[in-house]
Copies of this chain bind each other. A is one copy, B any other.
Amino acid sequence: MTTAAAARERLDEAARFIYEPASGGLELVMENLAALAESSGVPRGMLSHVVGGGGKLLRPTITLLAGGLRPGQEERVALMATAVELLHVATLVHDDTVDRSEKRRGRATVSSVWGDDVAVLLGDYVFAASATFVCDTGNIRVIRRFSETIMELARGELAERMSKHDWTQTPEDYQRRIYDKTASLIRTAAESGGALSGAPEEETQALRAFGYNVGMAFQIVDDVLDFTGSEEELGKPVGNDLLQGTLTLPALLFAARRPDEPAVRRLREGSRDEADLAAVVELVRNSSAVEESLMELDSYRNAARAALAVLPDARERQSLDALVDYVAERRS
A147 contacts B161, C-beta separation under 8 Å: no
Task: Please name all residues of chain B whose beta carbon is closer than 8 Å to the beta carbon of A44 when the two chains form the complex.
Answer: 162
CA distance A157 to B121 in the complex (A): 7
A118 contacts B158, C-beta separation under 8 Å: yes
A159 contacts B43, C-beta separation under 8 Å: yes
Q: Is A295 engaged at the interface, CB distance under 8 Å to the other chain?
A: no
Q: Is A303 engaged at the interface, CB distance under 8 Å to the other chain?
A: no
Q: Is A286 engaged at the interface, CB distance under 8 Å to the other chain?
A: no
Q: Is A155 engaged at the interface, CB distance under 8 Å to the other chain?
A: yes
Q: Which residue from chain B places its CB closest to the CB of A161 in the assembled complex?
A: B117
Q: Known contacts A42-B155, A43-B162; is A148 also within 8 Å of B132 by CB?
A: yes
Report A79-123 CB contacts with B as 1/0, cut-off 8 Å: 000000000000000100111000000000000000011101111
B132 contacts A120, C-beta separation under 8 Å: no
Among candidates B116, B144, B148, B161, residue contacting A98 with C-beta atoms closer than 8 Å: B116
Q: Is A151 engaged at the interface, CB distance under 8 Å to the other chain?
A: yes
A154 contacts B116, C-beta separation under 8 Å: no
Minimum distance in angstroms from A118 CB to a CB of chain B? 7
Q: Which residue from chain B places its CB closest to the CB of A145 in the assembled complex?
A: B135
Q: Is A224 engaged at the interface, CB distance under 8 Å to the other chain?
A: no
B116 contacts A94, C-beta separation under 8 Å: no
CA distance A235 to B309 in the complex (A): 65
A98 contacts B121, C-beta separation under 8 Å: yes
| Number of A interface residues in the complex (CB < 8 A) | 44
Task: Please name all residues of chain B whose beta carbon is closer than 8 Å to the beta carbon of A99 when the two chains form the complex.
Answer: 117
B158 contacts A122, C-beta separation under 8 Å: yes
Report A297-328 CB contacts with B as 1/0, cut-off 8 Å: 00000000000000000000000000000000
Q: Is A129 engaged at the interface, CB distance under 8 Å to the other chain?
A: yes
CA distance A57 to B138 in the complex (A): 31
| Residues of chain A in range 141-189 having any CB-CB distance to chain B below 8 Å | 143-144, 147-151, 153-155, 157-159, 161-162
- By CB atoms of chain B within 10 A, which of A99, A150, A158 has the most? A158
Minimum distance in angstroms from A138 CB to a CB of chain B? 6
Among candidates B121, B129, B143, B149, residue contacting A161 with C-beta atoms closer than 8 Å: B121
CA distance A143 to B141 in the complex (A): 12
CA distance A155 to B134 in the complex (A): 19
Task: Please name all residues of chain B whose beta carbon is closer than 8 Å to the beta carbon of A270 when the two chains form the complex.
Answer: none
Minimum distance in angstroms from A157 CB to a CB of chain B? 5
B128 contacts A158, C-beta separation under 8 Å: no
CA distance A161 to B97 in the complex (A): 17
Minimum distance in angstroms from A242 CB to a CB of chain B? 19
The 5 A-B pairs of least Cβ separation, nearest first, read A128-B150, A98-B117, A125-B154, A131-B147, A124-B154
Given A129-B151, A135-B144, 5 other A-B residues pairs in contact with their CB atoms under 8 A: A40-B155, A98-B117, A98-B121, A128-B153, A131-B147
CB-defined A-B contacts under 8 Å, sample of 10: A40-B151, A41-B155, A117-B161, A118-B158, A121-B157, A124-B153, A128-B147, A128-B151, A128-B154, A132-B151
